[in-house]
Amino acid sequence: MLTASSARTPTGDHDLQVFPMSAGAAAPSVVCLFVSVTLPVSRARVALRSGRPDDPPCIDPGLLSDPADPAALAEAEELARALAATPPLSDLVTRELRPDAPIAERTSTYHHPVGTSRMGPAGDPGAVVDHAGRVHGVARLRVVDASIMPSIPAANTNLPTMMVAERIASFMTSSEDA
C-alpha cells in the first residue's frame, strides 16, 4: 500500500498526481512517471509591466516558494519510486533519470494556472469578477476561464474550466443576468 502524510489535504483529499507520459517521438519506447502536487501552497504573481497594453505582464510562477511544496513533492517522488518498483512495472523500468538532481532543477509547471482574476464579492480586495464572471467596476466585460477560480482544484483544470464556462454561459443567456 502506498501512503504519504503530506500527500493529503487536511480534509483527506489527495494532494498529488502520478502520471505516466511518453517521452515522445524522440524516444517512443521511453515512458516517464511524472509527479505533481496538485494543491500547492506556493503562489504565483502576475503584475502589469507598464500601462501599455502591448507590454507583456510580469509573471513569476512562484514554484516551490513555500517550504511545504518541496517536501510534498519529495514524498510524491517516493510514491512514484514505490510504484515503479512494483511488478509488472518494475520489469520494465531500467533507470531513474537525474535522481540526484535537486528538486528545484527537476521542477516545472504543466501549465494549469488559476486564480489570476479571482472570483469573489465586490468588497473583496483580491476579487476581480463576481459569480457570473462580470469584472467588478467594468460594464459589459466578463472573464470566463480558469483564471477566475479562487483556488486550484485538486485535478487538471480542463473539466473544471468547462464547467465554469457552461455555468457562466447559462447566466449570460438567462433573463436574470441582463
Which residues are annotated as catalytic?
112
Dihedral sign for Cα 145, 147, 150, 152, please. positive
Using an 8 Å Cβ cutoff, are 38 and 151 in contact?
no
What is the pairing mode between strands 58-60 and 16-22? unpaired
How far is residue 36's CA from residue 54's CA, in Å, rounded to a whole number? 33
Using an 8 Å Cβ cutoff, are 39 and 29 in contact?
no
Of the candidates 121, 139, 141, 138, the one whose C-alpha atom is nearest the C-alpha of residue 130 is 121
How far is residue 15's CA from residue 69's CA, in Å, rounded to a whole number? 11
